[in-house]
Amino acid sequence: MSASPPLLFDRPLHRRRLDRAAPGYARAGFLKMRAAEDAVFRLEAILRSFPLAVDLGARDGAFARALADNPQVAAKIGLLVETDLSAAMLKGRGGARVVVDEERLPFADESLDLVVSTLALHWTNDLVGALIQIRRALKPDGLFVGSILGGATLTELRQSLLAAETELAGGAAPRVSPFADGYDGAGLLQRAGFALPVADVDRVKVRYGHPIELMRDLRAMGETSVLIERSKKPMSRALLLRAAELYAEKFADPDGRIPATFEIITVTGWAPHDSQQKPLPRGSAKMKLEDALKAVRRDGEEA
């Protein structure tokens, strides 16, 4: 029996943070909207319909709004079911909505045609396990389009808080959550059993007048740390001020504004199906690599 992955995140606390953020989420939902619009753009090139689709971690409905702005893609989707860990996030709009924990999906095996998840799955304790559940819920040849925050996210804030707390207290507890490596997106899908995985990275720089404005946006997004091993002490005023000073000293632009990096890893993968293109089996190549390189050298310049 395999061991369960270690618990990194306090999921009940994450739900409470999302509940708190729900009333004002739209004010800071620009990253969610960017990821949702990107997901819709990717669906433009896919020439098929999706009778039953799920938006996993819908928050304030950014994906549904992006669909409404693109009738060509919207016409491909039959029923869209919006889900979220937070019931408060789903309130106040129509359509099919259900409260769902991304770590324990309620969908029957091979029941869905499309699953989209934008900027929600990075808070799962077992990301590969969540992806396996998604793959199982998809019909054969069903599609998953997802995005998560990657490892370069908030690197400036992370460094500034670490340096400030080390300086003031002689040591530091983690105050910014760890994120997945941006170069392992396709690998995550392969480990979860998806076929034809594709991944890419979008790095976004958002500029603020002061680090406090960034922290307010993170709170409004429901993206503040819920690490189980986080410091239980509230951030002191002295720590906050020193971190802001270090942030400005090290990262400020010439005009005095400070940048915040957000790395969005987007992946697409298909539930396996016999009709899909398969990689050639090992040993089936008709020419050895060594012979191919020799042929290239004979036809061109010497290596």
For 11-299, CATH number out of 3.30.420.40, 3.40.50.150, 3.40.50.720, 1.10.2020.10 equals 3.40.50.150
Q: What is the pLDDT of residue 229?
A: 77
The sign of the CA dihedral 164, 170, 176, 182 is positive
Structure-block tokens of residue 300: 């061109």
Query: CA 143, CA 297: separation in Å to the nearest integer?
Result: 42
Q: What is the pLDDT of residue 282?
A: 55
Phi then psi for 27, rounded to 5 degrees? -65, -30
Q: What is the pLDDT of residue 78?
A: 97
Structure-block tokens of residue 198: 């594709």
This prediction's pTM:
0.87
CB atoms within 10 A of CB 182: 20
Q: What is the pLDDT of residue 277?
A: 73
Q: What angle do CA 69, 203, 230 make, to 5 degrees?
A: 105
Q: What is the pLDDT of residue 136?
A: 98
Query: CA 4, CA 2: separation in Å to the nearest integer?
Result: 7
Query: CA 19, CA 12: separation in Å to the nearest integer?
Result: 11
Under DSSP, the state recorded for 138 is E
- 258 three-state secondary structure: strand
C-alpha torsion 120→147→62→213, nearest 10? 70
Query: CA 175, CA 71: separation in Å to the nearest integer?
Result: 42
Q: What is the pLDDT of residue 266?
A: 96
Strand order in the sheet with 195-208: 96-99, 77-84, 50-56, 112-118, 138-149, 258-270, 195-208
Strand-pair partners of 9:
227
Query: CA 182, CA 83: separation in Å to the nearest integer?
Result: 26
Digitized pLDDT (tens) for each residue of the chain, 303 residues in all: 456 667 889 999 999 999 999 999 999 999 999 999 999 999 999 999 999 999 999 999 999 999 999 999 999 999 999 999 999 999 999 999 999 999 999 999 999 999 999 999 999 999 999 999 999 999 999 999 999 999 899 999 999 999 998 888 776 666 666 666 655 788 999 999 999 999 999 999 999 999 999 999 999 999 998 988 766 677 789 999 999 999 999 999 999 999 999 999 999 999 998 887 765 555 555 555 555 445 444 444 444
